[in-house]
Structure 1
Amino acid sequence: MSENGTGSEKETGVVLGFLEEAEPWQLASAQFPSKLGGRPAWLSQLNLPTAAELVCEKCQLPTVFLLQVYAPIVGQERSFHRTLYVFCCKTPACYTANDNRCFKVFRSQLPRKNDFYPYDPPPDEEPAASANDEQILGSGVKLCRLCGCAGHKVCSRCHAVTYCCKEHQAIDWKRRHKKECSTESFSASDASVNSFLFPEWELVTEPEKVAVNDKAVDSNSLEQVNISSSDLEESELESMALHESKDTETFQRFKKRIATEPDQVLRYCREGSPLWVSSEHMPSQDDVPKCQCGNKRMFEFQIMPQLLNHLKVDSPDASIDWGTLAIYTCAASCDQGQNYSVEYIWKQDFSEEQAV
């Protein structure tokens, strides 16, 4: 933990994420972006997640790209480039309390010398010649015209566009492709597509700093408050009062911690601990499944409820919602080559009494 130049603040070890506008070229795969919305900027350009892997486990509809975080691991050559991708369902009814089945998380990583990108860092200015075909990757993998995921279904009439699934083909047909299918004019980024995808923003980061006299500054030392049920002699009423007190304490800690940077939409601290919104539904080590390689998973970052303000998904009756989303990844960041590895997400919602 280090102090800044003024000596009145210190860094907590957490990196905060904020949203900023950016030019489209800055969010392309070759720039290794962290971003919200739009289409995924795929790292490995082969072996993309399949349509079956991207299906919501509740409604069986395809999930949509939410955000990605570029998070290389210093000193680990196989993870010189490393990006984590989060997808979510757009069906409000799937967002039941503390249920993570409407989310998907994937990890992609590459060594510095790889088949897709130059060895040296990308330039800071827009490329003179931009090969910005949003429907095909440089590897030749075709993408869904609607969502930007792997597209294996071809329009049987024009054979010019591809989709990941029949649901997305039907949406695109109704919105625009029916009118243009017999022509040679295909728009890849009109308003109808933008209304289906989440608004696109760049995710920029900066270290979290808090006042030196703030006792709860280190995410690794934040006490995870759990309600004790070992004292069987307490009355049911006293237990309920204790429960309410602990939950209020956790929520107040959450509000106090984010008060200095209320616009934060993401908190990154690999091997740290999440900032929980409630004392209820916090995972134990056994609740987080091991990676397919056999290693345990560790906390890496969390998505904050403030992000919901930027998704434009509110409706009078129901909406996408969460308290916080904690992403857990393989502790070894195991080597899966050019494949995309499935990782784990824990969804925690606010209790009924809480409000941000």
Structure 2
Amino acid sequence: DEQIIINEAKLNEKKKLKNKTKHLNDIDEDDDEITKGGKEKYEKTPDIEHGDVVFYRFQQKIRYAPDQIIRYDWSGNPLILTKLDANTLSTIQKCRYCQSSCVFEFQVMPALVNFLKIDNQIGLEFGTVFVYTCSSNCWNDNNDLYRFENVFVQADPDQNLFD
């Protein structure tokens, strides 16, 4: 009897994990569509009639880990904070060292500001920062101490409230 209860508990945990994983995968698929200029599912959601659907999706995605400061997804897609023009990310330049295309590698999340010990007078505010790196990974361990990368900063949508 005790073993049956343990097995049922394990099965329930697996089901919960599977459902959570499916939900996160669904969100990732939606993110891919937004980054490629596709139609967002939330545009049809009546609860967001007066809001920013892209920001809503951003909030929905990070609510599982609101204190995350880095999102890593090499050759993936960034989690967009506010709507971008269709061609904005296509302006990312080629690698300045080998001329290969650059791919999304990671993004710095807004929560980073909360962890930094910065004087309030500095006023560091940003929405999110996308970092694109060489798709050929042309880093040279023997000679390179650092590399210039392509960075795209999305401003905080509430920036006007800080001024």
TM-score after normalising by structure 1: 0.33
Query: SS of 1:326's equivalent?
Result: strand
- Show the counterpart of 2:17: 9
Structure with the largest fraction of helix: 2
CA distance in 1 between counterparts of 2:61 and 2:34 reads 13
Contact 1:220 1:272 in 2 (8 A): no
Aligned partner (choices 144, 154, 163) of residue 348 of structure 1: 154
**Aligned partners of 2:152, 2:51: CA distance in 1, in Å?**
18
- TM-score, normalised relative to structure 2: 0.68
**Structure index of larger Rg:** 1
How far the C-alpha of 1:9 sits from its partner, in A, is 3.3
Contact 2:125 2:159 in 1 (8 A): no
Contact 1:8 1:212 in 2 (8 A): no
Instruction: Sort the Cα spacing of 1:332 and 1:262 in 2 relative to 1 into closer, same or farther, 3 A.
Output: same
- State whether structure 2 residue 104 is matched by structure 1 residue 299: yes
Bigger fraction of residues in strand: 1
CA distance in 1, matches of 2:138, 2:21: 37
Pick closer, same or farther for the CA change 1:217–1:280 going to 2, 3 Å. Answer: closer
Does the Cα contact within 8 Å between 2:31 and 2:79 map onto a contact in 1?
no
Letter in structure 2 aligned against 1:306: A
Identity of aligned residues (%): 27
Pairing 1:217–2:28 present: yes
Q: 1:325 aligns with which of 129, 136, 150?
A: 129
Matched, 1:338 2:146: no
Answer 1 or 2: higher relative contact order, Cα 8 Å, separation at least 6. Answer: 1
Q: What stretches of structure 1 of length at least 5 have no aligned partner?
A: 11-208, 227-243
Tell me whether 1:262 sits opposite 2:66 in the alignment: yes
Q: Given residue 258 of structure 1, which amino acid in structure 2 is its aligned partner?
A: I
- The DSSP-based 3-state class of the residue aligned with 2:132 is strand
